[in-house]
A and B are shown apart, each in its own frame.
Chain A
């Protein structure tokens, strides 16, 4: 199995400031055949199912605000929220779609400072 490790486990950021969450995979999730990283990011608010934010490491899902961005390649990835809003308080997960089982990171809890 590919192990996904997120850091930090929790994060407190002031409103309007930048939030950065990291995700590291134990194996590369880059397909050389199409040069795409099979890495997705989700947001989960309390009592709700996760919501897909980003796929292919950096492609925003339709309707996701542009303050959310993803970057990275191979084994190291980052989710950035450029200007934190109150609505962004949630737990964020990365997930690899390179090979089954499609493992998740342990999650990063994002709060307001």
Chain B
């Protein structure tokens, strides 16, 4: 059973940096999957932030690309998200996930963490 667990500060001050970690158990982060971050503002829909392959190759949402960094830590089997220059608009539940490849490209997110709420406020 694959389990993903997000962790990090629940409160970030405006203009600061949001930093989250996603610990992966039951699977190796070096298996042929892409790993992703998705966020959801309170009461709103889902926003895809970006993805990373264990090689370090990344894809980011253009709307966040200038502020976001996703990385992997193979030794600890985890991935990380950094989002800088945050504002109240970045308040959301942040989810990490595993994107599944059925042999013909990525088709969806089959494993999700429970999510962690990050509030941007002074």
Contacts and interface: CB of A to CB of B under 8 A. Distances in A.
A95 B108 contact: yes
A102 B100 CA distance: 13
Taking residues whose C-beta sits less than 8 angstroms from the other chain, chain B's interface range is 20 to 34
Contacts of A52: 100, 108-110
A95 B62 CA distance: 17
Nearest to B93: A49
Contacts of A103: 48
B89 interface: no
Interface of A: 1, 31, 34, 36, 38, 40, 42, 44, 48-52, 55-56, 61, 93, 95, 97, 100-107
Contacts of A95: 46, 48, 108-109
A42 B100 CA distance: 14
B62 A49 contact: no
11 contacts: A31-B105, A40-B107, A40-B108, A49-B114, A50-B112, A55-B107, A95-B109, A100-B50, A104-B47, A107-B45, A107-B46
